[in-house]
């Protein structure tokens, strides 16, 4: 039962694997006989919650999860966030690699979480915890934790307000919420121009203008990075972006001559 498996994974804080198969498909038979009775696989699998779904019997569930082929495995966090898929047959080496990859991520997450919970007022540990949440795909809790960091360091006394604001802005930008991202980046550049995050925030403002199709604004912003922060590591990146845009525009002009 998928719902029960999800609930169990959440309660036990274990990653979830959904295994979609069709009993009569030869590829499924072969993989199951080769892998699922293997002692190494069994040992690694103890750290997971598994649920098997037969795509022929439960076609509705298979369609809901957009299964591309049989067999197919979907790896989830304990909170139900999809991490990745293995489509088609995998061998022992590949499956062990997948299982260890997710397990190592959980071990790191558990370690960071335990340290943070022992000292919840430590902003550095809280920021590390936010980063661990991001790596685990727990994006809602990630943003919530970053917002909490901003509240805890409202005046940027410890430099974590701008770290959190930059990360929130970047998440908005990659999600396509460019206007919200611009608000975050402008906040840093205008109110904390001497912070470590200000050069990158200004660089991201240029990226946002580029995404909005405002190319001249993007170029001006990248040039502003080099003018305002000539010793920053971000300067070289901004200069490259200006050259890329100018080279592209030159090609376009040549094409339309």
Is 70 exceeded by the pLDDT of residue 257?
A: no
Is 70 exceeded by the pLDDT of residue 252?
A: no
Q: Which of 18-32, 53-67, 125-139, 195-209 has the lowest mean pLDDT?
A: 125-139
Domain with CATH 3.40.30.10 in the chain: 2-105
Give the CATH class of 2-105: alpha beta
pLDDT band for 73, please (50, 70, 90 cuts).
Answer: very high
The residue-averaged pLDDT of 100-112 equals: 81
- Three-state helix/strand/coil letters over the chain: CHHHHHHHHHHHCCCEEEEEECCCCHHHHHHHHHHCCCHHHHHHHCCCEEEEEECCCCHHHHHHCCCCCCCEEEEECCCCCEEEEEECCCCHHHHHHHHHHHHHHHHHHHHHHHHHHHCCCCHHHHHHHHHHHHHCCCHHHHHHHHHHHHHHCCCCCCCHHHHHHHHHHHHHHHHCCHHHHHHHHHHHHHHCCCCCCHHHHHHHHHHHHHHCCCHHHHHHHHHHHHHHCCCCCHHHHHHHHHHHHHHHHHHHHHHCC
Percent of residues, the chain, with pLDDT higher than 70 = 98
The answer to whether the CB of 31 falls within 8 A of the CB of 65 is no
- Segment of 89-93, 136-140, 207-211 carrying the highest mean pLDDT: 207-211
Percent of residues, the chain, with pLDDT higher than 90 = 70
Query: What letters, b where the CB count within 10 A reaches 16 and e where it falls short, cover 24-39?
Result: ebeebeebeeebeeee
Output the CA–CA distances (angstroms, integers) from residue 153 to 26, 112, 121, 130, 206, in the order listed.
58, 20, 11, 15, 27
Q: How high is the pLDDT of residue 68?
A: 86
pLDDT band for 28, please (50, 70, 90 cuts).
Answer: very high
Is 80 exceeded by the pLDDT of residue 256?
A: no
* Matching CATH number, 138-255, of 1.10.10.10, 3.40.50.720, 1.25.40.10, 3.40.50.1000: 1.25.40.10
pLDDT band for 84, please (50, 70, 90 cuts).
Answer: confident
Alpha carbon 135 to its chain centroid, in Å, reads 6
Q: How high is the pLDDT of residue 153?
A: 97
**Environment class of 200 (CB within 10 Å of its CB; exposed 0-12, middle 13-18, buried 19+):** buried
Domain with CATH 1.25.40.10 in the chain: 138-255
């Amino acid at each position: 039962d998928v719902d029960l498996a999800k609930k169990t994974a959440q309660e036990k804080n274990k990653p979830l694997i959904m295994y979609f198969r069709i009993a009569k498909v030869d590829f499924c038979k072969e993989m199951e006989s080769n892998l699922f009775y293997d002692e190494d696989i069994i040992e690694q699998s103890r750290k997971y919650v598994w649920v098997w779904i037969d795509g022929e019997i439960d076609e509705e569930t298979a369609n809901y999860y957009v299964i591309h082929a049989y067999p197919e495995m979907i790896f989830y966090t304990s909170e139900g966030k999809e991490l990745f898929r293995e489509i088609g047959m995998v061998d022992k080496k590949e499956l062990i690699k997948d299982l260890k990859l997710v397990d190592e991520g959980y071990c790191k997450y558990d370690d960071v979480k335990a340290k943070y919970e022992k000292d919840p007022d430590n902003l550095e540990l809280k920021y590390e915890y936010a980063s661990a949440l991001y790596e685990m795909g727990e994006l809602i809790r990630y943003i919530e934790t970053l917002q909490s960091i901003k509240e805890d360091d409202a005046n940027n006394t410890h430099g974590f307000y701008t770290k959190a604001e930059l990360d929130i802005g970047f998440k908005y930008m990659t999600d396509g919420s460019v206007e919200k991202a611009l608000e975050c980046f402008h906040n840093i550049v205008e109110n904390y121009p001497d912070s470590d995050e200000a050069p990158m925030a200004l660089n991201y403002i240029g990226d946002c203008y580029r995404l909005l199709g405002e190319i001249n604004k993007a170029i001006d912003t990248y040039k502003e990075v080099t003018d305002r922060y000539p010793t920053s590591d971000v300067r070289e990146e901004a200069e490259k972006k200006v050259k890329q845009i100018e080279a592209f525009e030159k090609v376009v002009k040549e094409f339309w001559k």
